[in-house]
Amino acid sequence: MGKIYPELDNRLRKFIARQSAFFVATAPCLSSEGDGGHVNVSPKGYRDTFAVLGPRSVAYLDLTGSGAETIAHLRQNGQITIMFCSFDHTAKILRLYGTGAVVLPGEPRWDELAAHFPRTAGALGGRARADAPAGPGGERSIIAVDLHRIADSCGYAVPVMELKKERDVLDRYNETKSAEELAAYRAEKNAVSIDGLPALSPP
Query: Which CATH number goes with the domain that contains 51?
Result: 2.30.110.10
Q: Which pLDDT belongs to residue 160? A: 94
Give the model's pLDDT for residue 121: 58
Can you give the pLDDT at residue 135? 35
Domain membership flag for residue 200: no
Is residue 97 one of the residues assigned to a domain? yes
Residue 197 in domain: no
Bridge partner residues of 151 (DSSP):
4, 95
Q: Which helix (H) or strand (E) holds 53?
A: strand 50-54
pLDDT of residue 27: 96
Is 157 a member of any domain? yes
Confirm whether 196 is domain-assigned. Answer: no
Please check whether residue 139 is in contact with residue 105, taking contact to mean a CB–CB distance below 8 angstroms: yes
Residue 66 lies in a domain: yes
Domain tally, the chain:
1
pLDDT category of residue 125 using cuts at 50, 70 and 90:
very low
- Exposure letters 7-25 (e unless 16+ CB within 10 A, then b): ebeeebeebbeebebbebb
Could you tell me the residue range of the domain that residue 27 belongs to? 3-189
Q: Is the pLDDT of residue 165 over 60?
A: yes
Ramachandran assignment for 5, one of left (phi > 0), alpha (psi -120 to 50 degrees), beta (any other): beta
Check the CA dihedral 135-129-142-154 and report its sign: positive
Residues 92-104: what's their mean pLDDT? Answer: 97
**3-state secondary structure (DSSP) of residue 15:** helix
Residue 201: pLDDT band with limits 50, 70, 90: confident
Q: How confident is the model at residue 134 (pLDDT cuts 50, 70, 90)?
A: very low
Are the CB atoms for 203 and 77 separated by under 8 Å? no
Judge whether 19 lies within some domain.
Answer: yes
Mean pLDDT value of segment 73-88: 96
pTM, full prediction? 0.89
CA–CA dist 96, 6 (Å, integer)? 11
- Pairing outcome for strands 57-63 and 50-54: antiparallel
**In-domain check, residue 14:** yes
